[in-house]
Amino acid sequence: MIDHDATDQLAALRAGTVTARELMAQTLDRIDRLNPAVNAVVALRDRDRLLDEADHAPPGPLQGLPMAIKDLAETAGIVTSHGSPAFRDNVPDEDCPMVARLRRAGAVIIGKTNTPEFGLGSHSYNPVYGVTRNPYDLTRSAGGSSGGAGAALASRMVALADGSDMMGSLRNPAGWNNVFGFRPSYGLVAGGGPGDVFLDQLSTEGPMARSIRDLELLLAIQSEHDPRHPHASGPYRDAGPRGKLRIGWLADWGGAYATEPGVLELCEAAVGVFESLGHSVTILPPPFPAEALWQAWTVLRSWAIAGNSGALLRQSPDMIKPELQWEIEQGLAVTAEDVRKASAIRSDWFRCTAGMEVDILALPSAQLFAFDAGWHWPKAIGRTAMDTYHRWMEVAVPASLTGLPALCVPAGFGLAGTPMGLQLIGHRGRDAAVLNLGRDYEAATNWIAQQPEV
């Protein structure tokens, strides 16, 4: 049963063909067998306690479904380490709003999914739990920062997984693990807590799954309207009838994005599927200077990170990774004029996307295939040096900078046998159109059936 998607599992629970206790036992048995090699699920809770909770799961759309929460989301009663030694003993008293929604929906929280320290970087390793490995090749990275979620889905340890995305953290691990990941429009999944809600709109939570219907199932729960969040636009609703869409294929942004051989060929073939389904595909020239997007992104990202995490550099400088130290230092050096210029570029790009004569922009979900799990990050793609720890994920910036909905769909496998994904980026607020297009693609392809042999 646990090899089926969440929708099928929940239908079986409702029909009584499997009990919640049986499903939990199967899930924990799978984790016991596979997780020592993959290291996707961390802070796993006591088996007997979980079996008992499965028996008494509250009614709701996820009643009795085992779920593990990304280790950046505050989860009551479970260590939420953020992958950092500074928080290795952090056990929150309360759930963050998104986790609270999942519990109310009947999900049984079994533990956490691994992430890079503080979610920085698209490779899930940290000094608390170690490296999450790609189920399709255990010598390779599972991506990040939702790498534990992606690997747990691919290896069928869970059927649904939450994630979050600032710079591709829902899209990169989905692509590298042959599953679906969706970054919703900013505000559809309302974040919680006090703090700025105007200037920092770079990150959002969202769903990961092995089917589009499962993505929508989880998104509908994650996007429950929260009156405490003034940008909240949920809940998610399917837009209804689907029409033919205009898709703009951007490839490597006119050569601006260094790309490993094989990536563009796979993604271009995936784009061709849409043409066979009657959608129109246009090869687009770069619609905006890539270097301007990067300039705006690095200023706003570092500035936001410094504002949110700057105290860590003062209080625990020896307990945070060099990449976070660098981000904070960069952010603290930013001037008001730097932020204004970066936001002006962001605004120009937003206007540009709003006026495009296509409905969807298509790009690879990463610029290279899953790399060696022992690396911190790739220092070069081909002959192009990566001048920062995240430059190899520059392809994620166009959607992230302006909060556009972006779906990663499986695009196939490279010569080394690891997966790649394709981003489908829509207009702000048109999440259902993006997901409906993904459903068309899912029906025409069957990449998900190619399970890892782990």
| pLDDT tens digits, 364-401 | 999 999 999 999 999 999 999 999 999 999 999 999 99
Degrees to nearest 5, angle at CA 97 with 199 and 93 = 115
Token pair listed for 366: 């990463």
> What's the CA dihedral at 393, 397, 399, 401 to 10 degrees?
150
The answer to whether 399 and 360 are in contact (CB under 8 A) is no
The pLDDT value recorded for residue 240 is: 67
Average pLDDT over the chain, rounded to whole?
A: 96
Question: Is 379 assigned a catalytic role?
Answer: no
pLDDT at 239 exceeding the cut of 80: no
Give Cβ neighbours of residue 214 (< 8 Å, ≥ 6 apart): 5, 6, 7, 159, 160, 180, 207
Range of lowest pLDDT (170-174, 199-203, 217-221, 377-381): 199-203
70, 84, 146, 233: the active-site residue: 70
Token pair listed for 249: 């294929």
According to DSSP, residue 331 is labeled H
What does the alpha-carbon distance between residue 200 and residue 308 come to, in Å, rounded to a whole number? Answer: 10
Percentage of the chain surpassing pLDDT 90?
91
The answer to whether 101 and 226 are in contact (CB under 8 A) is no
Token pair listed for 24: 């939990």
Cα 274 from chain centroid?
23
What does the alpha-carbon distance between residue 418 and residue 448 come to, in Å, rounded to a whole number? Answer: 13
pLDDT at 237 exceeding the cut of 70: yes
The pLDDT value recorded for residue 157 is: 98
Nearest residue to 198 via CA among 185, 186, 183, 206: 186
Please give the average per-residue pLDDT across 422-439, as a whole number: 97
pLDDT at 195 exceeding the cut of 80: no
The pLDDT value recorded for residue 197 is: 80
Range of lowest pLDDT (43-52, 146-155, 308-317): 308-317
pLDDT at 192 exceeding the cut of 70: no
Nearest residue to 211 via CA among 66, 400, 31, 407: 407
169, 185, 211, 223: the active-site residue: 169
Domains (range + CATH), the chain? 6-287+356-449 (3.90.1300.10)
According to DSSP, residue 358 is labeled -
Question: Is 70 assigned a catalytic role?
Answer: yes
pLDDT at 35 exceeding the cut of 80: yes
The pLDDT value recorded for residue 292 is: 98
Please give the average per-residue pLDDT across 421-448, as a whole number: 97
Q: What number of other Cβ atoms are within 10 A of residue 94's Cβ?
A: 12
145, 155, 164, 223: the active-site residue: 145
pLDDT band at 411 (very low <50, low <70, confident <90, very high): very high
The pTM of the full predicted model, rounded to 2 decimals, is 0.97
Question: Is 321 assigned a catalytic role?
Answer: no
The pLDDT value recorded for residue 241 is: 63
pLDDT at 196 exceeding the cut of 90: no
Nearest residue to 208 via CA among 175, 242, 167, 166: 175
Peptide bond into 410 cis (omega under 30): no
pLDDT band at 312 (very low <50, low <70, confident <90, very high): confident
Percentage of the chain surpassing pLDDT 70?
99
pLDDT at 191 exceeding the cut of 90: no
Cα 74 from chain centroid?
17
What does the alpha-carbon distance between residue 244 and residue 437 come to, in Å, rounded to a whole number? Answer: 9
pLDDT at 79 exceeding the cut of 90: yes
